[in-house]
Structure 1
Amino acid sequence: MNVIRHTDANFTERLQQLAAPSSLFDPVIEERARAIVEDVKIRGDAALLELTERFDRAKLTVEQLTVTQAEFLSAAFKADDSLRAAVASASKNIEAFSKKALRKNWSAKNAHGAKVGEKFDPFQRVGIYIPGGTAPLMSTALMTITLARVAGCKEIVVCTPCGPTGEINPGLLYAARLAGATEVYRLGGAQAIAAMAYGTATIKRVQKIFGPGNPYVVAAKRLLFGQVAIDLLPGPSEVLVLADETANSKFATADLLAQAEHGSGHERVWLVTTSGKLLKEVEKEIGLQLPKLSRRDFIQKDLEKNGWLILVKNLDEAIKLTNQLAPEHCEIMARGASKVAEKIVTAGAIFLGSYSPTALGDYVAGPSHTLPTGGAGASFAGLTVDQFQRRTSVVEYDRTSLKKGLTALQKFADVEGLDAHKRSAEIRVEGAKAKTKAGRKI
């Protein structure tokens, strides 16, 4: 891993490297993603088949893009008792957390005495991207699809890449179906995002797209914003461990290695500590723990490129740097962890204390693990169930409340030079004085 200390002569310059643009904003990736998106827009299903063969090495027919009911049944039969139990345990927490966060309709009286409020309706058709690649992310299926179901979305479309033979991991299919997916397509990458955004002969377009993905998936989401609603920009995984001398070096090391193992090569991990002793211990622990891990080659590559052990002067500096980096996951292993957390204002998710590894959030704790990365946490929050709901404001005036609001309305219309706006309200007040043939006011 890369090591920098506040005593280094070039400390400030090296810190700037940490805040350099992530893969989310790589211009080369963006241009390649743009070409894929345009191809799908123009050629539809034909482009999807060619791109799937090129990138996933799977030669499919149009009919094979759609996962069949028979495949769902087969996946369910293959799920053993331990997998079913794990999925059920995670699902229970995710569903309970989501129900607590649902937005509810409300109404109140404004200063004119009129009724105003909001109503929240589920998007009717949503698209969810589930990464495949080197690891079938069943957990992502649960932590996205479940939220859509709890919100009441009627059509939940899932796209996930297949292997060279066209297969999708049965565990992932089982989790997706159980969570509430109504359609699943064996389709990955930027082409999947484009298909859901524009629609093809096989895949109807959706209203909003959710889910994490590799840099090409995230680039496609950025490019298609406006053509379709987008949740956030969750790209390759990140973790920052903020620690003082009380932290357990074995725990901190294990968490850094865990987030580096995803395998895209763009993951980022940081240890930010006030303790030189802890930094040295973590450096040693990496050498002890890494050789025992099955995905050590992926991890090693990522640590060399995007792994940082950083020694800062004090806790205030650690907090300042953490907020600057806006990490996807922030673990706080320090005295007064909850107090420190109050000052962390850009992280996607915060994990307090020595016994809250990020992996709990990845799998079973309850909040969705779909979180902003690449510094996007400074502007975006993580995925929540209310993002599957459309907000609509509702306004209801009667004659009395309209009269109360008329003077202010007239003034705004006069200043803005919009006399038709003013007249649309005045005509109602004038009409209130008229009488119908039956002698009733209108």
Structure 2
Amino acid sequence: MRIIRYTDAEYANESRRLDRRAEASDRVREVVSSVIKDIRERGDAALLELTKKFDGADLTPDTLAIPIADAELAIDALEPRVREAMEASKRNVQTFAQQSMRKAWSMTNEQGAEVGEVFHPFERVGVYVPGGTAPLVSTAIMTVAIAAAAGVPEIVVCSPCGKEGQVNPNLLAALRLAGATEIYRVGGSQAIAAMAFGTETIKPVTKIFGPGNSYVVEAKRQAFGVVSVDLLPGPSEVLVLADKSANPAFIAADLLAQAEHGKDSGAGFLTDDAALLEAVLKEVETQGAKLSRQDMVRSVLDKECFLMLVPTLEEGAEIVNNYAPEHLSLITEREQDILPLIRTAGAIFLGNYSPVAVGDFLAGPSHTLPTGGAGKSFPGLTVDMFQRRTSMVRLSKEACAKSESVVRIFSEIEGLDAHGNSVSVRSI
């Protein structure tokens, strides 16, 4: 782990390096551009070849989709305790979503026009659920279940399969339990391209959701405009900002939990207390030695984890804003002073007894959050992202007449006399 102290000569430079912007490498952009072009030109044929190349699975057009009946059987085969856990998570996620659903409203403006908004769910959305080293059952719930809560009728899911074409049965069950209506065993940037542009087998969607690796995130970026996208959630990360009131064992546990995500995930700890920094460092070594994913955790700790001693928590908060972490754990006796300073975190976990893992699996807000610095521009996934907004305007003859003079002035300024006439002709 990299240790940075404000007394170090390189402290200012190290702090500046933590001011991140979400940006793909030239190599990633080129690969994704090629994949999208191939999918657009050759459809299923390209999708099957790329799945064979990247995932080692030899599929056919007939085996791209996983029958919904198979997903129903996977639900039936769940252990009772596993199904209960999935159902508990789904209830919290959908209850939270329903509370934040945007509702239709209207008002009367000063000219007497009735104006307002109505909201409708997207008709067909795509959700990407990563595969990789762990079956992300929680991601299935924290994306698909929100789409279902919003009333989306067609929820298309793509998730990579193993070399034999299999998808983890727990993940398959979770997808259907959450509300997926179509499930395809394909992953990577090719899956994003297939959902955005369509193939012979996969009909195009109108908006794409979900996290993924750098290639998936870049594919969403390049598909934007053809489809809408939710945000740019990539490899997972956590930042902890704490003072002497924090329990070092708890902080170390959160850092290690993040490292467990593996390649490209990141973890950082900032504190104004030197003794706490040393205690956390020791706890990381002690707890880390007992974990099952030793190689993976150690690799992340060595390459992507840092501990930083800052002069004040206020300066730590500014570094947090520059870093824009996916998850922030804030543990301080001065919460009322420091919390208002945080502006760019995807989600904030407050106090010693708010582990990030509860947010990952159960709390209610979606764990699909902006990463890599994208939190400066994007919020986390919310139910309103599954809703399409439409404004509504209704004028009576009297309201139209009262609006005419202002519209005429704008029309004269902009040289658009037909605009003015379209109001004047109704006001005679």
1:410 to 391, 402, 408: 408
2:13 matched to 1:17? no
- 1:69 CA displacement: 3.0
Give the counterpart letter for 2:64 in structure 1.
Answer: L
Within a 5 Å distance, the mapping from 1:6-405 to structure 2 comes to 6-21=6-21, 24-263=23-262, 265-405=263-403
Contact 1:121 1:391 in 2 (8 A): yes
1:305-344 Cα distance to aligned partner (Å, 9 max, x none): 1111000001111111111111000001111335422221
Is the alpha carbon distance of 1:239 and 1:311 closer, same or farther for their aligned partners in structure 2, counting shifts above 3 Å? same
Identical-residue share of aligned pairs (%) = 51
- 1:375 CA displacement: 0.7
TM-score, reference length from structure 2:
0.98
Cα separation, 2, equivalents of 1:313 and 1:32: 43
Cα separation, 2, equivalents of 1:339 and 1:96: 31
Contact 2:68 2:181 in 1 (8 A): no
- 1:16 CA displacement: 2.5
Give the counterpart letter for 1:16 in structure 2.
Answer: R
Higher Cα radius of gyration? 1
Cα separation, 1, equivalents of 2:21 and 2:335: 29
Contact 1:114 1:398 in 2 (8 A): yes
Contact 1:209 1:228 in 2 (8 A): yes
Give the counterpart letter for 1:11 in structure 2.
Answer: Y
Structure 1's unaligned 5+ residue stretches are 431-442
Cα separation, 2, equivalents of 1:71 and 1:293: 34
Cα separation, 1, equivalents of 2:240 and 2:158: 33
Contact 1:341 1:350 in 2 (8 A): no
Contact 1:102 1:151 in 2 (8 A): yes
1:182-211 Cα distance to aligned partner (Å, 9 max, x none): 000001000010000001110000000000
- 1:299 CA displacement: 1.6
Contact 1:97 1:367 in 2 (8 A): yes
Is the alpha carbon distance of 1:192 and 1:363 closer, same or farther for their aligned partners in structure 2, counting shifts above 3 Å? same
Is the alpha carbon distance of 1:338 and 1:43 closer, same or farther for their aligned partners in structure 2, counting shifts above 3 Å? farther
Cα separation, 2, equivalents of 1:20 and 1:425: 50
- 1:78 CA displacement: 2.3
Cα separation, 2, equivalents of 1:386 and 1:262: 28
Cα separation, 2, equivalents of 1:358 and 1:337: 18
SS of the aligned residue for 1:121 comes to strand
Contact 2:20 2:322 in 1 (8 A): no
Contact 2:260 2:293 in 1 (8 A): yes
Contact 2:20 2:373 in 1 (8 A): no
Give the counterpart letter for 2:3 in structure 1.
Answer: V
Cα separation, 2, equivalents of 1:388 and 1:224: 17
1:218-273 Cα distance to aligned partner (Å, 9 max, x none): 0101111101000000000010000111111111011011111112x211211011
Give the counterpart letter for 1:165 in structure 2.
Answer: E
Give the counterpart letter for 2:341 in structure 1.
Answer: K
Contact 1:330 1:349 in 2 (8 A): yes
Contact 1:125 1:157 in 2 (8 A): yes
Is the alpha carbon distance of 1:398 and 1:338 closer, same or farther for their aligned partners in structure 2, counting shifts above 3 Å? same
May I ask how many residue pairs the two structures share in their alignment? Answer: 428
1:362-391 Cα distance to aligned partner (Å, 9 max, x none): 000000000001111111110000000000
Is the alpha carbon distance of 1:19 and 1:299 closer, same or farther for their aligned partners in structure 2, counting shifts above 3 Å? farther
Contact 2:277 2:307 in 1 (8 A): yes
Contact 2:401 2:426 in 1 (8 A): no
- 1:15 CA displacement: 1.8
Cα separation, 2, equivalents of 1:74 and 1:152: 24
Cα separation, 2, equivalents of 1:411 and 1:327: 48
Could you list the runs of 4 or more consecutive aligned residues of structure 1 that deviate by over 4 angstroms after TM superposition? Answer: none
- 1:131 CA displacement: 0.6
- 1:37 CA displacement: 1.2
Contact 1:338 1:352 in 2 (8 A): no
Cα separation, 2, equivalents of 1:79 and 1:342: 44
Q: Structure 1 residues 283-292 or 214-223, which shifts more?
A: 283-292
Cα separation, 2, equivalents of 1:149 and 1:316: 41
Cα separation, 2, equivalents of 1:286 and 1:42: 50
TM-score, reference length from structure 1:
0.95
Cα separation, 1, equivalents of 2:148 and 2:109: 34
Q: Which residue of 2 aligns with 1:437?
A: none
Cα separation, 2, equivalents of 1:8 and 1:336: 26
- 1:20 CA displacement: 4.8
Cα separation, 1, equivalents of 2:352 and 2:386: 33
SS of the aligned residue for 1:8 comes to coil
Cα separation, 2, equivalents of 1:128 and 1:20: 26
Give the counterpart letter for 1:422 in structure 2.
Answer: G
1:91-147 Cα distance to aligned partner (Å, 9 max, x none): 111111000000000011001011000000000000000011111101001001111
SS of the aligned residue for 1:411 comes to helix
